A and B are shown apart, each in its own frame.
Chain A
Amino acid sequence: MNGNDKWELQISEAELRTMTRDLDEAHRETIPTMFDRAGSFAEEIAEKEGRSGGVARRRFLMGAGVAGLGLALAACGSGSSSSSSSTTTSSAPAKSASPYTGDLKVVALATALENQAVAAYTAALGAAKAGKLGSVPPAVGTFAQTAMSQHSDHAKAWNAVLTSAGKPTITNVPLSGQPAVLKALGSVNSVGGVANLALQLENQAAQTYLFAEFNVTSAGGISTAATIAPVEAMHAAILYFVLGQYPVPDNFLAVDKAASPSTLTV
């Protein structure tokens, strides 16, 4: 990599990786808490609809595993083949009346946005591996892999909520803006270009969760969105830094870039 031989860390890369691993272990500890919260959200939705909350929680736990597998397959697919396969399809039927209404429409939107981010990072890493982005700094590669993994965790949580509500999971990107994202991804040929695109997706995701926090009625939905928004904002901060911009540009997160539920195409 450019210039790496000119600078040596006073602690080794292995030590830095250990620091990262320690933090990653701390992160793994937060996942059960988060899934418990999303499970409560699933129960809450079921009870509102007159269904058994306990059954919904069990379905949530089962759904969390299945949704993860589905998402992994979807991500692999979008990274290894032509991107046109992931435009507006999902495992849910299109055209007919949307199965996602009320809070579940916001859940579906959140899932689609997370899938969009996973697919974008997968495609970017694929392009980097193929040498289409020029020299890729190691930190940028690590950023993309870790952010992608976290978006995948978010998608799993949201898909599990959909499963528990008896709704189809979303394993693709059913968003009206996805063709434009794919077009932009297909035309970038530099790390900076990819980072700018990723920054737009991260800001949109963070702002959409903020929008959800004061528009969703379910307590579980509100708290789940609240625990994800800061993480997307942290991704954005590091991207700003990598792009040479001030990493915390706003005093308050806005919602002007939030995705509208009307952009969901299922």
Chain B
Amino acid sequence: MGERIDTRLLTELSVQSQDLNSDAVRLTKDALGDFTEQEQERAAKRRWGPAGMVAGLAGVGVVLGAGRAMAASSTTDIQALQTAASIENLAVSVYQTAAGLSFIKTGNATVAAFIKMTTAQHQAHAQAFNAAVTQAGGKAQTAADPKYAAVVQQMLPSIKAPADVVKLAITLEDVAAQTYTKNVSQVDDPNLRKLFGSVAPVEAQHRAVLLAVQALLAGGGAALIAIPTQPAMLPAAAGSVGFPDSFYSTSSASPVNEGAVQ
């Protein structure tokens, strides 16, 4: 494993990125704030019902129909948020487990630092999704996505080296990115579109880095997994292996209710 990393520089970069990140966090909090206001307005409408619209003309059937439609869209939003939180919970758990593996602790310092930072980012995503869930009147999701938790359990015994961890992480990051990309056009609330849309690219970036790391590990270029790296030493293919698609696929996106609170 390459140990060319300057850990002081990495710490400094992490601090800088935290500063930059605080702006993005603020923005997401704004989106959550807007979402809360809208949810309060919706809740008021739900409490009072669309009585103004029906004005005693159409009767109970219309009121119930409208109420069901509103409740259905709200359920989709809540389930999507809970499923997203469940994927984040799983990612946090996997990265935390990975961080404790001996070959990670004593291996490439950049890989270990990436795992630490990525864990924190997934924790922030889980918090944001759960905050939105509770603001929407749903229950926070503290469990892991059941489908992929089973996949992880199945794969854990075969994890023997950094490349195995990277392969598993790529799978989880891709599922997260695909799911949120799809969620953007599934949820009703524009503020939730903003939330899902602000997280999907970050998961895609994790995947891009992991794909590049995977290629370097496979090619015996672990020494180049460093910040800063040596661009001149990177193989040509390393420049493009991190972003294989022109358009982010959603064919493996998790269904909205996959990780919903039962």
Contact = CB atoms under 8 A, between A and B. Distances in A.
B232 A135 contact: yes
B6 to A, nearest CB: 10
Interface string A119-149: 0000000000000000101111111111101
Nearest to B177: A230
Contact of B25 (A15, A210, A219, A251): A251
B213 to A, nearest CB: 10
Interface residues of A, number: 80
Contact of A245 (B194, B205, B227, B231): B227
Contacts of A31: 246-247
A132 B122 CA distance: 42
A23 B205 CA distance: 16
Contacts of A256: 23, 27
A249 B102 CA distance: 27
Given A210-B197, A229-B200, A256-B23, A247 B208 contact: yes
B201 interface: yes
Contacts of B185: 219, 222-223, 226
B157 interface: no
B111 to A, nearest CB: 12
Nearest to B184: A226
Contact of A233 (B13, B205, B215): B205
- With a 10 A CB-CB cut-off, give which of B125, B194, B198, B205 has the most chain A CB atoms: B205
Interface string A1-32: 11110111111010111011001101100110
Given A23-B241, A249-B17, 20 more contacts: A10-B219, A10-B220, A16-B219, A23-B211, A30-B248, A137-B231, A139-B231, A142-B237, A213-B193, A213-B197, A214-B193, A222-B185, A233-B208, A234-B207, A237-B205, A242-B231, A245-B228, A250-B17, A250-B202, A252-B27
